Amino acid sequence: MTRRGQGQSDKPTSGYDPQTLAADIRSFMDTLKIQRATLIGFSVAGNEMTRFATLYPNRVDRLVYLDAADDYKSGYELATNPQTKYPLPLPDPPDPLGAIVRAAREADPDYTAIKAPALAFFTIYASPFIPADADPDLRARIVKRWEDFGNLFQRHRIEHFRRDMKNGRIIELRDVDHADFVNDQTFQAYLTREIRLFLGQ
């Protein structure tokens, strides 16, 4: 399924909040007469998957989060608070993806009501992103912010999932980045194997 606003799907001016996107998944399944499904989503898709599994628990078999179990609200607050802010601009993606990201910031995901088994892949970074043209002062500020807040937030989102997802499994990934989920075929082959094991195939 390609969500609204993406690819060749319709691009309405509204409806990019997790509640509406979850309703879109339900409508898609109804149209194809799919009673239950395993949902696999990348990045911000985790928010609508979580909302769908909460609203329609009997229609979810399993959930797979591809670097998609993130706390957008807490992360954005951390990155923009004057005491903890990230020392670089944080532009939103172009609309309508930007609208989806902004809606995801309204609340962190609530995993507590989900009954379906869930597998979450988390990318773990050993250091922060530093632009190649960063001067020494900016480089030092980025590193300090990472040591004080950014690295700890990586653990926060994982522990949030571990604590609240009743039947969850976590795989932590190192030496990869977010883009590898869509760009690296060797890495994708590894993901496919792990997902098939999770699904019992």
Cα–Cα distance, 69 to 81 (Å, whole number): 22
Give the pLDDT confidence of 59-84 residue by residue, as tens digits: 999 999 999 999 999 999 999 999 99
- 117-176 pLDDT per residue, tens: 999 999 999 999 999 999 999 999 999 999 999 999 999 999 999 999 999 999 999 999
Give the Cα separation of 199 and 122 in Å (integer). 18
CA-to-CA distance for 56 and 62, rounded, in angstroms? 12
Buried-exposed string 21-47: b where 16+ CB fall within 10 A, e elsewhere: bbbbbeeebeeeeeeebebbbebbbbb
Can you tell me the distance from the alpha carbon of 66 to that of 42, in angstroms, rounded to the nearest whole number? 5
CA distance 50 to 39: 10
What is the domain partition of the chain in residue ranges? 18-194
Domain over 18-194 is classified CATH 3.40.50.1220: no
